[in-house]
Structure 1
Amino acid sequence: MSARIDLLVTLGLSALACTAPAATPLPVPAKVEPTPASPPPPPPPAQDDAALADRLGDANTPPELLERGAAAKIWADHVIDRGINPFYLRGDFDGDGAPDYLVGVVPKLGAGAQPRLVVLRGGGRPAVWIDADPEAGLGLPARDAWYVHDRGTSVPSGPGGKAPALHGDGIVMMKLESSSALVYWDGARFRSHWLSD
C-alpha cells in the first residue's frame, strides 16, 4: 500500500510540474551608449561685454545728470568714468536747497588720462570742477569708495584738525585701508577735511 501511495504522490507531483507555467525570462536591458557631452558655448567677444556695460551704464544714469552735463558742455570732451560703484552721487553739496550730482569723468582723448570730478549743480548754477589743490585747501585721496555725508551728521575732527561746519552735504572719499577725506562746500569753493591718513 505504501508503494501505491508513493506512486500516486510521485504522479501527482509530476502532473503539477507539467501544468505550472514556465518561468518568464527577465528582459535583457538594452545597451545604452553614452552620448558625448556637447562643448560649452564660446564666451562672447570682449567688445560685446563692453557694449553691454555701456548700455547698462547709460540705463542707470539719471537723464537730469546727462542734461546738466550737456548744458555745461562736459560731454563735448569727457565721458562718465564708471570705474567706481556708484559712479555718481546725488546730494545738496552747495547747500542751496537744490540737488546736485557729483560724477567722475575722463577725457575722451588720451589713453591713461586722469579722471576728474565735476559737480553738476542744481538751480541753474554753473558746474564746479573738483581738482586736488592742496594750496587752496583741497586734497583728495585716491578713490576706491565714496558716499554722501549728510550735512546733519556730525563730522569727526580727525588728523585734519577741527571739524568744519557744513553748508551742504559732504562727500566722503576713501582709499580703502589707507586714507579718507570729507570734501565739502565752504560757501565759495570745495575744500577737504582729512578724516584719516
Structure 2
Amino acid sequence: MIRFILISFALLLSLCLVTAKRAAPANVEPVIHEGVRYVAPNDDGRRAYIEAWDVRTNKKLWKLTVFTNRIDPTLEEDVQWVFIDKLRVQDSALIVTSERGKTYQIDLTSKAVTQSDPAPSPGGVAQLHDIPEAVERAIRNGPLAKEYDVSFHVNPFYLCGDFNGDGKIDVAILVKQRSSGKLGIAIIHSEKDKVTILGAGVGIGNGGDDFEWMDSWQINSRNRVTREASVPKFRGDALLVSKSEAASALIYWNGKRYVWLQQGD
C-alpha cells in the first residue's frame, strides 16, 4: 500500500512538473510584402521580435522588438513567456498577433509599433509584460516614479515611434500626475531614457495641462504624405491627439522642444 502511494505521488509530481513547462511556440508562417520577407523567429521568451529579409539577396535588413515579457523571478520562467502566433500584412502595415490574442501594428515605413487591443475594464490594470522596458525603468528609477502613474484611460495606453528624429525608437505613454489627477503623455526617449511630460500638469498649446478630454491618439509618421500646406515636414514621428467629433492636434518635435499644431476645433 505504501509503495502504491509513493508511486502515485511520484507520478503526480511528474505530471505537475510537466504541466509547469509550456509547449513549444508555434512555427509562424513568414509573410512577403514588396520584396521583403518578414519572419518571427520565436526563439527568445523574454521578448518577441521580427526580422525583415530581402527576398532577392536573402540579406537581413532589420530587426525590431514588438513586445517584451516581464519575468517574475519567483515563478517558473518558461510559463511566463509569450510568443508571436501569426503575421499578416494589411494596408502596408505588418499585423502581429501574440499567443494571448493581443494585436500589434507595425508601420513598415517608420517601424513604429502600436498596440490595438480591446480597452481594459474600468479600473483594470495592464499586465506587467505589456509595459515596455524603457517605461519600466522610468517608473522604477526615473522622474515618473516620483510624480506619475501609468494611465489606461485610452487604448492603446502607449505608442512607439521615433519622435525626435534621431533614428531610435522612443515610447509615448499615458500618465496621471499623482498630486492633481491630471492626465497627459510622457515621452521617453531611447537615449538615456530622457522623459518629457506633456499635459499631466505641464501645459502645451490648446491642450492645456490636463488631457482628460483626449479619447484617442495615434502616430502620424513623418513620411506620411499630406496635402495640407499647414502641416510642416516632421523631424520625427508626430502624435495625433483627438477628441471624437471635436478637436485634434499634432504634437511634434521641432528640433528643440515638442510643439502643438491645432488641426480642428
TM-score (norm 1): 0.62
Q: CA–CA distance in 1 between the matches of 2:166 and 2:243?
A: 29
Aligned-CA RMSD value: 2.4
- Read off the aligned partner of 2:173 and give its amino acid letter: V
What is the 5 A alignment of 1:80-91?
80-91=150-161
Higher RCO (C-alpha under 8 Å, 6+ residues apart):
1
What displacement does 1:89 show?
Answer: 0.9
Q: Counterpart of 1:24?
A: none
Q: Counterpart of 1:139?
A: 206
- Read off the aligned partner of 2:249 and give its amino acid letter: A
User: Which structure carries more helix by proportion?
Assistant: 1
Q: Counterpart of 1:13?
A: none
Closer/same/farther in 2, CA of residues 72 and 173 from structure 1, 3 Å limit: same
Deviations 1:27-61 (A, max 9, x none): xxxxxxxxxxxxxxxxxxxxxx878x32x343321
1:60 to 107, 130, 142: 130
Q: CA–CA distance in 1 between the matches of 2:237 and 2:176?
A: 24
- Read off the aligned partner of 1:107 and give its amino acid letter: Q
SS at the partner of 2:192? coil
Q: CA–CA distance in 1 between the matches of 2:249 and 2:122?
A: 32
2:178 counterpart of 1:96: no
Q: Counterpart of 1:117?
A: 185
Q: CA–CA distance in 1 between the matches of 2:244 and 2:163?
A: 23
Closer/same/farther in 2, CA of residues 105 and 156 from structure 1, 3 Å limit: farther
- Read off the aligned partner of 1:87 and give its amino acid letter: F
Closer/same/farther in 2, CA of residues 155 and 188 from structure 1, 3 Å limit: farther
The answer to whether the Cα contact below 8 Å between 2:134 and 2:193 also exists between their aligned partners in 1 is: no
The answer to whether the Cα contact below 8 Å between 1:88 and 1:104 also exists between their aligned partners in 2 is: yes
SS at the partner of 2:146? coil
The answer to whether the Cα contact below 8 Å between 1:118 and 1:127 also exists between their aligned partners in 2 is: yes
Deviations 1:94-116 (A, max 9, x none): 11111111112113345xx2112
After the TM superposition, which segments of 4 or more aligned residues of structure 1 sit over 3 Å from their partners? 68-71, 131-134
Q: Counterpart of 2:257?
A: 189
- Read off the aligned partner of 1:129 and give its amino acid letter: I
The answer to whether the Cα contact below 8 Å between 1:156 and 1:195 also exists between their aligned partners in 2 is: no
The structure with the largest alpha-carbon Rg is: 1
| Paired-residue identity, % | 22
What displacement does 1:156 show?
Answer: 4.9
- Read off the aligned partner of 1:149 and give its amino acid letter: N
Q: CA–CA distance in 1 between the matches of 2:206 and 2:159?
A: 19
User: Which structure carries more strand by proportion?
Assistant: 2
What displacement does 1:76 show?
Answer: 2.2
The answer to whether the Cα contact below 8 Å between 2:138 and 2:193 also exists between their aligned partners in 1 is: no
SS at the partner of 1:103? strand
Q: Counterpart of 1:178?
A: 246
Q: Counterpart of 2:56?
A: none
1:78 to 127, 131, 148: 148
- Read off the aligned partner of 2:130 and give its amino acid letter: N
The answer to whether the Cα contact below 8 Å between 1:182 and 1:195 also exists between their aligned partners in 2 is: yes
